[in-house]
Amino acid sequence: MPNITLSISDETRQKMKQHPEVRWSNAIRTMIEKKLHDFEVAERLVGKSGLTKKDIELLSSKANKSMAKHAKRLLNEGNS
């Protein structure tokens, strides 16, 4: 199996050391595999879709704005 090397901040490394029970290589491998799976699903959906790139960008923008508004509302509720 091929190996990869990545860089992390000293702060991240210190936080990781606080959890020696975690096999960090396995955790990262799982996250990479999940992300690749997500891309594969998205590519299959796009392949079946009649949406243009412009349509997707517009939907993405609207979703991001909506999520930001929701997050702001949740933060405001938490400060009440």
Task: Write out pLDDT tens, residues 20-50.
Answer: 999 999 999 999 999 999 989 888 877 777 8
Type of residue at 36:
L
Lookup: tokens for 80: 């009440």
Give the separation between CA 3 and CA 6, rounded to whole angstroms.
10
Lookup: tokens for 75: 């933060």
Type of residue at 59:
L
* Rounded-to-10 torsion of CA 23, 28, 34, 36: -150
**Mean pLDDT lowest among 12-16, 62-66, 71-75:** 71-75
Its pTM stands at 0.56
Whether pLDDT at 78 is above 70: no
